[in-house]
Amino acid sequence: MARRLKTFVHVGGNPYGPDDEVPPEVAEQIGEHAWEDDSGEAGDEPTRVGYDDPRTSPTSTGEAPPRSGRGSGIDAWRRFAEQHEVEVAADASREDIIAACEAAGVVEREE
């Protein structure tokens, strides 16, 4: 049975969604929790969390994510850092990513 993504994920800085064909080498990097069986039945809608499409979220416009509330998670900050070519470790926390963005001068320090 074919599989499809339940929601949007990012691999290597590239977004993939329920309607995208995911290359095999990318699919290997995505956890089982992100997949569902593609039954092909009409009316099945993928579960979407947060913004419907990360390609149109506030960070896709170059705007920094909020520091609290909706859209302030680690994925949003990691995407923002990647867009601004700020290097962060793969295991960096959200706070580490924000600090790196501050150090690179792409966001102002919050006092």
93's tokens: 């926390």
Given a cut of 80, whether residue 69 has pLDDT beyond it is yes
Taking the C-alpha atoms of residue 75 and residue 70, their distance in angstroms, rounded to an integer, is 12
pLDDT in tens, 70-111: 888 999 999 999 888 999 998 999 999 999 999 999 998 887
Taking the C-alpha atoms of residue 83 and residue 9, their distance in angstroms, rounded to an integer, is 16
Q: Which of 111, 73, 69 is nearest to 95 (CA)?
A: 73
Q: Residue 48 in contact with residue 36, Cβ under 8 Å? A: no
Judge if pTM exceeds 0.75: no
